Amino acid sequence: MSQDTDNRLFEQRRVEKVVEEINDKEEKLYVRSAGLKESVVELRKTFWDDVTVNVDEPDDIIETQESIKQQAALLSEKERFHGKISEELQTLQRLRNTPYFGRIDFIEDPGTEKDSIYIGIASLMDHAEEDFLVYDWRAPISSLYYDYSPGPAHYQTLDSTISGEITLKRQFIIKQGIIEGMFDTGVTIGDELLQQALGNNASTTMKNIVATIQKEQNKIIRNERSKLLIVQGVAGSGKTSAALQRIAYLMYRHREELHADNVVLFSPNPLFSSYISNVLPELGETNVRQMTFLDYLSKGIGDKLTIESPFEQMEYVLTQKESEHYPIRMKSMDYLSTLDFKQLIDSYTTALIENGIEFKPIKFRGRTLIAKEQIHAYFYSLDKEIAIPNKMEMVSKWLQQELSKYQQQELAEDWVMEQIELLDKEDYMRAYHRAEEQMQSSTVQDEEKILRRYMVRRFFQPLKKRVEQLAFVNILATYQQLFTEWNPKELPNDWQDIRAQIATDLAQKFLTWENATPYLYFKGRLLGDSADRSVRQLIIDEAQDYSAFQFAYIKHLFPYTRMTLLGDVNQAIYTHVSKENPLIPAEHEESHERITLTKSYRSTKQIVDFTTYFAPGDEPIEPFNREGGKPELINLRNESEWTTTLLTCVEEQLEKGNETVALVCKTLEESEQIYHLLQDKLAIHLVNEETYTFEKGVLVLPIYLAKGIEFDAVIIPDASSAHYCSESEKSLFYTACTRAMHALIMISKDEPNLFIKAVPEALYNVKS
């Protein structure tokens, strides 16, 4: 029997023993869980039976409260323990199928015995709870597996650095407790394991990468020192996957202080949020707060204004070039996205200390109680040295006092009694009992007085709440003055045209995407920012699509938060809004570290080689050695053949076993046209910005909604020079092509675009 066979038998027996241990632990936990559940249910039923209730004397009341507190604490502890058992059971269920994926043999000091360390998605102890059968991939010792080849190695614990030697590195493919593949390797992760992981069909959800984490990805995951971590990763380099593993690692490493509710992830669109939603639960962690930046802005701005989405902005840029307002809108996009415009807002806000803030009158039942001029006069009577947000709070308190006076005056008004008579039975009885408690005599007059107080307070309460929320400040009108009345000395070229167009939008209560962040920033300068200081970690995906103003605003809101920026300068499809990219930090950027991922794992070597020729950035791109067919360019002789050709391409890819075939279009307008053309001819799904789940099959979608997602096959329906006609669209075309894992087909109705022409013809196949 060969050494390889002996090793295989040994490892399979060990897997079986570990699975036995998992089954045994699971059985014991089920017994404990069932008994504890019965105990919790019984305790809920008999909660009040074991509580001494006596409210005759003050001491008795205290004793009753203490008794309730003790019983509630007992119930809470049992429920918490039951929840912990449930978590342990879920971990065991995840481990049963694949107990581990790696092994290293490590000798800590010369002359000591080697330790065989098996690494999986979670830790597992033996039955005596003394030795680790499996180490969690996030444990300090597990970093050896990702960072070193056999030979000298070390890892960092909380207290010290442990040095030694790795004598063996072994990787496993285990499914349903059976070893399907086993490789001894001298590199971090052997090609065999990656080939198998990457050669499969695209999934509707992102896969966790714990078994295939590369050394550079591991640097991202375990980085704890940088306040700002910038990850520039080429398409398919696994930057988003690494960031999600990073969240899981940090939550494991700082279990006591870092929780799901103080980690925020800004994702590019709702579909992407759905696509990555399974990764953390697979690793036994709760999903963190996920939202788009549009969601975040919308919440802060409120529903009184309509906000253009970044996708609507992109659609405008790509489809409205013939519009008479287009040149000015483009200049507006450029200027409003810069730090220069942020400085302009700061200057305007400083000027408002002297005069100019608009207010709203305080009205009650159709009449004005406090005119906006009165509020204006009171605000500007306050000390100018006091910050504007602090003065707003002082005005709010003054208004509350004034409203209390008016509230007292309203008690005798006829409308009050009319409203009392309209009370339904439930509200009337509530008011009556309250009146009864407060009455000092049983006269009808006293009861009516209390009821009147109840009714007036009920009507004034919403008004006071709005005053407390500073709703008396007319943010929109004050912001409009920046574009209608204010004339600073230094302004950009074409400012008169830019300001006129913005003023028109604001008059219609419409905020363009480039104006949404400035508006919310301005609102914060007047009312005070509600900075979320509970957020400890902020991850921004597709960071290259954030403007300089947007990124500055994020840093303004989260001044003490550690940030991870992920992106690819090659895929900066929104570069028309800013010349400054958050992925390229300024020299003065505090405590930042930049990690570059140059190897692409998503696409075959042939697709990566093809797209490298028109990648917009200067970063090198290294393909992973996974072979496949060359990209195909189909040149149509006749445009009338286009629909038939498109259908044929789709059918061919489905026949090859590709489960997700994406028709990636330049715009949503183009996507909708193709969808309506093909929906009666095949099963096809249209993806728009309202799409929240990723389905297998044939999809048609615009490039900007495909960001971060991968498909088995990508078909570009129109790759002609007439459709992609300018250098500025290079990032769009590059992004579309790099969504493909196994096959890339481009259809050209006439001359192919200049990006395809930049590629040597030997790197792709041409069909006519």
**By C-alpha distance, which of 450, 426, 428 is closest to 438?**
450
Rounded CA-CA distance 244/221 in Å is: 8
Strand 132-136, strand 124-125: pairing: antiparallel
**Tokens 């004339």 — which residue?**
487
Token pair 């900007």 in the structure block, residue: 704
Question: What number of CA atoms fall less than 13 Å from residue 361's CA on the CB side?
Answer: 10
Instruction: Encode burial over 265-295: b for 16+ CB neighbours within 10 A, e otherwise.
Output: bbbbbbbbbbbbebbbebbbbebbebebbbe
What does the longest C-alpha to C-alpha distance in the chain come to?
105
- Cβ neighbour number for residue 352 with a 10 Å cutoff: 18
DSSP codes, 131-158: SEEEEETTSGGGHHHHH--SEEEEEE-S
Closest CA to 705 of 685, 715, 684, 691: 691
Nearest-10 crossing angle of helices 310-319, 668-678: 80
CA 174/CA 493 separation, integer angstroms: 64
Tokens of 61: 């009341």
Rounded-to-integer distance, Cα 449 and Cα 247, Å: 60
Answer for the pair 584, 249: CB distance below 8 angstroms, yes or no: no
Residues at the binding site for ATP are 233-240
Q: What are the DSSP calls for 678-709, one per residue? A: HTTTS-EEE--TT--S--SEEEEEEGGGSTT-
Main-chain dihedrals φ then ψ at residue 547, nearest 5 degrees: -80, 165
- Is 44 exposed, middle or buried, given 0-12, 13-18 or 19+ CB atoms closer than 10 A? exposed
User: Measured between alpha carbons, how far is 255 from 139 in angstroms, rounded to an integer?
Assistant: 13
Neighbours of 250 (CB within 10 A): 22
Given a contact cutoff of 8 angstroms between Cβ atoms, the answer to whether 741 and 608 are in contact is no
CA distances from 58 to 65, 67, 395, 631 (A): 11, 14, 43, 84
Place of tokens 């049983």: 442
Sequence-distant (6+) residues with CB within 8 A of 367 are none
Question: Would you list which residues are annotated within the binding site?
Answer: 233-240
Quote the tokens at residue 593. Answer: 């570290």
